[in-house]
A and B are shown apart, each in its own frame.
Chain A
Amino acid sequence: MGIPSKRDLLAACLWAAATVAAVAVSDSVFLRTLLGAPMVFLVSGHSILRAIGVRTTSVLQHLTYAVGASFAAAIAGGFALNATGSLTPLGWAVWYCVVTAAAALVAAIRRDTPDLPAWPALVPLRLWQGAAVMLAMLVATGAYALAVRDEAVHREFKYTEFWLLPSASGESSRITVGIRSAETQPQRFDLEITLDGQPFAVFRSVAVAPGDTWTREIPVPALATRQMAEARLYRPEDNRLYRRVSTLVPRI
């Protein structure tokens, strides 16, 4: 026995309207996901399915077809919104609202709209079975959280980034030197800068902690010819050259 009611169409329209309202006024990801995700995956497709009048014989069949029809609605929406230059959050919300409402209207007007398939009886769960399922969900979620943490914490390569660039602000009389540490321990460096091979600036015992960035903008004389600036990074403990970078100082 199917379900002859058409109240689902009204519910779909209300859902679509609520999604538009949420997208228009709320920045809450939780609220918008609660309303928007079913809209993308199910609600619009359900209305389209009812509008076309495809008879489904089981809940599985209805849900599967509805998801497919929802995908079709989204894809068509992408092209329509692209043509009107409205690929924005509100554009999408309005699209889904219009499609859902129009499909629901067609389904409500037509006389031969098929009944919805009946819901199957739920499998009764005993207390221990319910607890086991809940525990399983908890373990799986916890394992995922561990995977996220492990990925964030683990770094195979420990390294120090070193760079030398013409000024970021575009001024021809400045260069920018930077150090960023992705090491496990704080580091200390000596930094020497030369201009066309001549010593120009020195920074002693620059300390950089893991995760920290050290940068300096250094004024250089602006000439009519391009100058080669070179920066060398030394580790004070062995005074060996650790990194070397260079850049061209733009002419005036």
Chain B
Amino acid sequence: MSAHFTAGTRITPLRTGIRFVSAVIGPDLRGGSVDASLQRANSGWIAVLCLTIATALFLVVAGHAAGRRGYDVAPLFFWSGVVLLVVPTSLRIAWPTTARAERLFLLFLLAESLFYCKVVYSPTSFIGHDELLHWIAAEDLISARRLFLSNPLLPIGPTYPALEILTTAIVNLTGLPLFVAGTLLLAVLRGTFIGALFLFFESITGSPRISAIACLAYMGCSTFFLFDSMFSYESLGIVLCVLTFAVEAASKDLVGRPRLKSLGLIALLLASLAVTHHLSAAFAAIYFGSLAALEAWRRHDPLRIKTSTAVGLAAILAIALPSLWVQARGIPLAAYLGPVIESGFDALLRKILGPAQRLEHLGVPDVALYMRLTTLLALLLVALGLATGFFRSLAMAAPSGARSGWRPIQDILKRRWHDSRIILLTLLAFGFPVSVAFRLTSAGWQIGNRMGTFVFIGVGLVVAVSVVHFWEGRTPRGLRRVAPAVALTVIVLGGVMSSSLNPIHGRYRVAADQESIEPMGIETARWTKEWLGAGNRFTTDRTNRLLLAGYGRQDVRVGVVQGIDPARIFEAETFGPDEFWALAGSDIDFLLIDLRLTTAPPVLGFYFQPWERQKGPLSGAALLKFNDVKGVTRIYDNGWIVIYDVRGLHGNS
């Protein structure tokens, strides 16, 4: 509590309450110089933590192995490994007296270890839905040696080919297999991301301790563990994005030629970002545009014009380069992102304003209770961090003379601050509750998930400021020393637990993306390449589509003919005239049906396309109705998967 809270006499309960709230959420920066005096990294701690992490990784591998066999002990192995990995490392990183170099080393160690946990889920091949899409594109690039080849499963992908370019550059130079090259690239991206994020926070706060804690809090983002570690364009996009922020923030005090040189590097990175990932490029444009606006808006700074000009130039580049790329390639970005954004906002508004819609809950998958509780606790802790760190974070940007009471906030309201980046990131943290709200709807989940990647940069800063300047305070001892570190550990664990439905490799599940991919489906796809040749026109369910395109090198179709989805052909109980004319009028050569789809409802809520809503499990009779159709032959059967040759329907055979 601040001193003035206890000093007053005749304090009314209302005033006491106000002063209490003010002391808790107010802008009082009591962490002093926040960083311990210069000291060396403790090699003893590093050695012990390395050994602890190795043990943890072994447990994680054991958890996956047990999960594959359906043993009940799998979660115990896996989660004890994750806890052993996260808890001691996070505690040491957040400890008030840890040296900068040690914090940095442990941050890299933690980030790469979490990446290791993601990779051992499938240690020899990419398995995520988006990963397979980009793997197919990279395979195409290696075999055809040309960019911009069409990808029917991700039509916008070929216009953002940077990830595939980088991966195939490694493959070409080293001769490594594509999976190894991609994994190596992702490991480097993880390290670069943490390095850039740390440098960014350090440039704007001047404190390695706050920066390390902010990086740790960022790991609580639901996309950090899995989504941004996938072989997918956003994994490269977010790294380039944060790198541009770090370079710009490091050059904030430079003027003249040195600033121009930094701008040159920023231009190079922004140009790369423009051809890497649409959303990351859009976020960089929003960040630099907002920064330029804040710089133009603020006052009382002698360097204002030069600083504003440099930030303005960066903003122009950040907005112009992606726009030029979209124009030059004729990318239908609005058509691609528009429906997702529209349905997301629509679902959110319905959730807020109207009664709950039954459809909204059809696709909500089941998650273990302990995972829900940990995620909920992590959310509450982040919310607490935001509440106690928001004004303190703003106060950090206030002129250095104004540090008492609410004076810093008054100064900021009068447009006086010394660093617009802190203001912007603090305001960005407001996106967190919005992203959580989106995640509560199935249509808006994608928006909330992707928002999280970016808003957590702000959340990380605010939570770190809260930990250092409020929860730990000037002389952290006892509970004040331990509790914030434990809270950060829970936040990181919450990020891991909310990253996917089930991060442990389990048995096959129906229509559950990576949980549906296993050797039998892969071998069937390989059979098509071996015995039918590549490039045949196939249609099937979502999972087998990926396998056929990736392992089978087949020309998979997401529609049978214009306006008719595969679901209509496969779900009908009988082969009626509609189905006949759709197939006969199409150029589809083969249908692949997977009878495992009849064993359970789809985990993600759909078998074929995300916009379809399933009423119940598919019936075997519906899938096998092609057996007795004249002109259709059943050329392959392995007991679960059947391939039908339908060329006889349109007279091609």
Residues in A with CB closer than 8 Å to B634 are: 244-246
Whether, in the assembled complex, A204 has its beta carbon less than 8 Å from a beta carbon of chain B, the answer is no
B104-155 CB contacts (< 8 Å) to partner A? 104, 116, 120, 122-124, 141, 145-147
Q: How far is the CB of A184 from chain B (nearest CB, A)?
A: 13
Number of B residues whose C-beta is below 8 Å from A? 90
Would B519 and A75 count as touching, CB distance under 8 A? no
Query: A67–B196 Cα gap in the complex (Å)?
Result: 10
Question: Which residues of A in the span 135-160 have a Cβ within 8 Å of any Cβ on B?
Answer: 135-140, 142-144, 146-148, 150-152, 154-157, 159-160
Determine if A164 is an interface residue (Cβ-Cβ < 8 Å): yes
For chains A and B in complex, what number of residue pairs have CB atoms within 8 angstroms?
A: 274
Contact of B640 with A by CB under 8 A: yes
> What sequence of 0s and 1s flags, for each residue 118-148 of chain A, a beta carbon within 8 Å of any chain B beta carbon?
0010011110111011011111101110111
Closest beta carbon of chain B to A70's beta carbon, Å: 9
A236 contacts the other chain (CB 8 A): no
Residues of A within 8 A of B168 (CB): 78, 87
Bound together, the chains give a CA A37 to CA B185 distance in angstroms of 9
Interface: A247 (CB within 8 A) = yes
Interface contact A67-B192, CB-CB below 8 Å: yes
Which residues of B (276-309) have their CB < 8 Å from a CB of A?
A: 276
Residue A206 at the chain B interface, CB threshold 8 Å? no
Interface pair B243/A32, CB less than 8 Å apart: no
Interchain CB contact under 8 A, B58 and A75: no
Q: Which of A23, A91, A246 contacts B633 (CB 8 A)?
A: A246
Contact check, B53 vs A136: say whether CB atoms are below 8 A apart. yes
Per-residue interface assignment for chain A, residues 188 to 231, with 1 indicating a CB less than 8 Å from any chain B CB and 0 otherwise: 00000000000000000000000000000000000000101000
Q: Which of chain A's residues have a CB closer than 8 A to the CB of B258?
A: 55
- B residues 171-224 with Cβ under 8 Å of A? 172-176, 184, 188, 192, 195-196, 198-199
- By the criterion CB–CB under 8 Å, are B192 and A154 in contact? no
**Residue from B55, B146, B518, B637 within 8 A of A139 (CB atoms):** B55
Chain A residues in 8 Å Cβ range of B184:
37
A228, B633: Cβ atoms closer than 8 Å: yes
**Closest CB in chain B relative to A172 CB, distance in Å:** 11
Q: Is A14 close to B, CB under 8 A?
A: no
Would A123 and B141 count as touching, CB distance under 8 A? no
Q: Say whether chain B's binding surface is mostly helix, strand, loop, or mixed.
A: helix
Distance in angstroms between the alpha carbons of A250 and B200 in the assembled complex: 67
Are B638 and A162 closer than 8 Å at their CB atoms? yes
**A6-42 to B contact mask, C-beta < 8 Å, 1/0:** 0000000000000100010001110011011101110
Chain B residues near A40: list those with CB within 8 A: 166, 169-170, 173
Interface string of B612-639 (1 = CB under 8 A from A): 0000000000000000000001111111
Cβ-defined contact, A160 with B639, below 8 A: yes
Residue among B101, B246, B639 making CB contact with A123, cutoff 8 Å:
B101
Beyond A53-B257, A146-B65: 18 further Cβ-contacts under 8 Å? A35-B173, A36-B174, A40-B166, A40-B169, A72-B268, A87-B141, A88-B172, A132-B48, A136-B50, A144-B116, A146-B61, A147-B123, A150-B65, A155-B519, A156-B508, A159-B640, A162-B637, A243-B639
